[in-house]
Structure 1
Amino acid sequence: MKTFKEKLNLILYPFLWIYRKGQYRQYSKKDPKELAEILHRKYFKKDIDWKNPRDFNEKIRWLQFYTNTDEWSRLADKYVVREYVREKGYGDILVKLYGKWDKARDIDFDSLPNSFILKTNHGSGEIIAVKDKRKVDLEKIRRKMQKYLDTPFGIITAEPHYLKIKPCIIAEELLVQDGGISSSLIDYKFFCFHGKPVACGVFYDRDMKTHRNGMTPYDMEWNKHEEWRNKNLTSPFKDIPCPVTFEQMKQACYDLASQFPFVRMDFYEVNGHLYFGEFTFTPAALSGGSFTQDRMTEWGKLLKL
C-alpha cells in the first residue's frame, strides 16, 4: 500500500514536471551547457569535470560543447541518415520508405498501404504504428503528428544537435516481430567506440504509451551480463537468442560508425533480415539510462577525446 507521501508525489508529479520543463526550456534558450550541468547534477549528484572528463556521460557532454557536432545533427536525422547508410553500401538494410512530408496536413494516406508507421525525423518515440488504416481516425493521427512535428526535441534535455534538424514526417514499412519472444519489435542497440562495438543492449516488450521496456545486455560474443544493467530497472531479464544477423550487425557498426568517438547504432531483425534503425550520439539523453555507473566508468576509458 502506498504511503501518504507516495500518493502526494503521484498527484503533484505532473505539475512539478510542467514547472521543471518550463525551467529547463528557459535554461536551454540562454545556455544549453548550463542546462547540461544542471541535469548532470540531478542525475549523478556531482558536477561535470569539463577540464578532465572521465566517465562516459562526462565525455559525451564534453564532445557536445567542445567539438563540431554537425555530423551528429545530420545522422540523428531519421530521414537524412538514409542517404548516408546508402552511400556506405548498406541500402539493403534500410526500412522501406513510403513517403515524406513537411506538414501533417500533406500526409497522403491514400498512397499508403493499410499498415505503416509514421514518425518524425527529429525526435525520439514520436511514433504512430498503424496496423490497418481503415480502422483508425486519420484526422486524429494527423493532428497528433503535427503536434510531434512542432515540438522542439532536445531543448529540455540539453541535446542542442537535435535542434539543427529540419523537422519532417516520414512513413515507413511497419515491421512486425516474428515469434513470441517479445510483445514488440526487438531493438538491438550497439554501443560503438571509435567504430568498435563493445556491448549490445537488447530492448524488448516495449509499451508504446509509457515507453517502458525490458532490457538485457550482451557482449560481442553474445554472453549475457546482468551485472551491467542499471539496478533501477525493474523489468525481468529475458534470455534473447542471438540474432541470425548478429555478425552482419557488428560489421555494419565497423563500417558505419568508424569516424565517431562514440555512437550507438540500432538495428532490427525480422524473418532473418537485418534492418537499420538509427544513430544516437547521446543515449538516454545522458541520464545514465539502462546501464550501471561502473559501466559508464569503463566506457569512459574507451572513449578517447
Structure 2
Amino acid sequence: MDIDFKAILARYASRWRSTRHIEAHLRFPGMDFHEALIRVTYKRIFGAWPDLENPRTISEKMCWLKINDRRPINAVVTDKYRLRGYAEQHGLGHLMNGLHAVWDSAADVDFRALPDAYALKVTNGSAWNVIKAPGQVIDEAAVRKRLDLWMNTNMADNKGEWYYAASPARIIAEHYLDNGGGDIPDYKLFVFNGDVRIIQYCEGRYINFRSIFMDADWQPMPCTYANFTPYGPPPPRPAELDEMIELAQTLSQGFSLVRVDFYIHEGRLLLGELTLNPVGGYTHFTPDEWNHKIGDWLELPDKATLV
C-alpha cells in the first residue's frame, strides 16, 4: 500500500489541517494565508471564485472586508470579553450580561465558585460555549478538556476571520439566560452602513432551531438562508424593537457591516455579541437573487479609510 507521508505530514502541520488549507498554500503561494483561505473556502461553498475586484454579492463583499479591513477595533468588538469595554465606552455597559469570572486557562476555571447554572464562553471564537442548566450535572474534566481544545485552536484559520487571532484567548463565565424551556430567543440586527436592514429572529437554539428574516418594520422578508426550514407565521413584534434598532446603530458606528445580537431576558434588554461576518462571511440566501439585492445594500469603503 502506498502511503503519502508528505500529505499526512501536511495534514497535521501548522495551518495545513484540511484540504482547504493545503489548497490555499499550493494554489496561492506567497499570498497572505487568510486571503488565500478565504478564496478557496468561497470556491468550495459557492462553486466559483469570488470576484474581489468588483464584488457584488453580499458574501463577496464580506470577503472583501475580511481581506481589506484590518483595523484593530475589529478584534475588540468580536472578542466576547473586550466587547464589554467597547459597550461601556458608548455608555451601554448596562446591556452586558452579568459576569461571574474570567480566566486565562481551562485549568484555572473554578467550578466551585460558580452558581448552579452558568454559561462558559471562550472569548476569541464562535459558538465555543458550555451552557450549564439549573440542576444539570457536568463532567468537569471533560469540560476543561473541551475548553482547552478551543483555546488552543486558531479560529482565524477556519474561515479567514483574522481578528479572532488578534485577541487573547480567555474564558468567561456569564449568568445563565433562560426564558423557560431551556432556551432564549435572540434578535440579530444586520446594520448596513448605519441602517438596520435585516432582523433575524432565532429560537430553539439547541432543540428544533427556527429562524425567520424580518425587515426593520418587522415584516417578513421573502428570503432566508439556503437549507433553512420555513418558519411559518412571524413572531410577535417585540416592544423593545425600536430601542434595539437605535442601539444597533450606535454600536455599529464606523463599520460598513455589523450584526448586533440582542436577548430579552425577564424584560431586560441584553447585548449578545457583535459579528462582522455572519456565517463567517459566506451567507447563502435563497432565492438566489437576494444575494445580489442584499449585496447592493452594502457600500464598501475606500481602502484608504481602513486604517
Question: Structure 2 length as normaliser, TM-score?
Answer: 0.84
How many residues align structurally? 281
> What's 1:24 paired with?
20
* Residue 297 of structure 1: how far off its partner (Å): 1.2
Superposed, 1:207-246 pairs within 5 Å as 207=206, 213-225=209-221, 227-234=222-229, 236-237=231-232, 239-246=234-241
Q: Aligned to 1:254, which of 239, 246, 249?
A: 249
Which segment drifts farther, 185-194 or 139-148?
Answer: 139-148
Partners in 1 of 2:126 and 2:197 — Cα distance?
A: 23
Closer, same or farther in 2 for the Cα pair 1:272/1:110, shift >3 Å? same
Amino acid at match of 1:240: P
Tell me if the contact between 1:188 and 1:267 (Cα under 8 Å) persists in the aligned partners.
yes
Shift of 1:138: 2.1
| Aligned-residue RMSD, C-alpha | 2.3
Q: Secondary structure at the match of 1:184?
A: coil
Query: Secondary structure of 2:67's partner?
Result: helix
Q: 2:49 aligns with which of 43, 47, 58?
A: 47
Q: TM-score, normalised to structure 1's length?
A: 0.85
Q: Distance in 2 between matches of 1:31 and 1:60?
A: 17
CA contact (8 A) 1:73 1:161 kept: yes
For the residue of structure 2 that corresponds to 1:155, the secondary structure is helix
Q: Structure 1 residues 109, 133: closer, same or farther in 2, change over 3 A?
A: farther
Deviations 1:151-187 (A, max 9, x none): 2113121222211121110000011024x7xx62212
How many angstroms apart in 2 are the aligned matches of 1:205 and 1:291?
22
**SS, match of residue 99 in structure 1:** strand
Q: Secondary structure at the match of 2:199?
A: strand
Q: CA deviation at 1:68?
A: 2.5
Distance 1:148 1:291 in 2: 32
Distance 2:172 2:238 in 1: 27
Closer, same or farther: CA 60–140 of 1 in aligned 2, 3 Å = same
Greater helix proportion = 1
Identity of paired residues, percent? 26
> 1:203 corresponds to which letter in structure 2?
C
Deviations along 1:14-72, one digit per CA (max 9) or x if unpaired, are xxxx9995223445676221221111122222222122111211112112222333221
Cα distance in structure 1, aligned partners of 2:24 and 2:258 = 23
1:252 match: secondary structure: helix
Aligned to 2:3: none
> Which of 164, 167, 170 does residue 169 from structure 2 map onto?
167
In structure 2, relative to structure 1, the CA distance for the partners of 1:236 and 1:21 (3 Å cut) is: farther
Superposed counterparts of 1:101-112, under 5 Å = 101-112=103-114
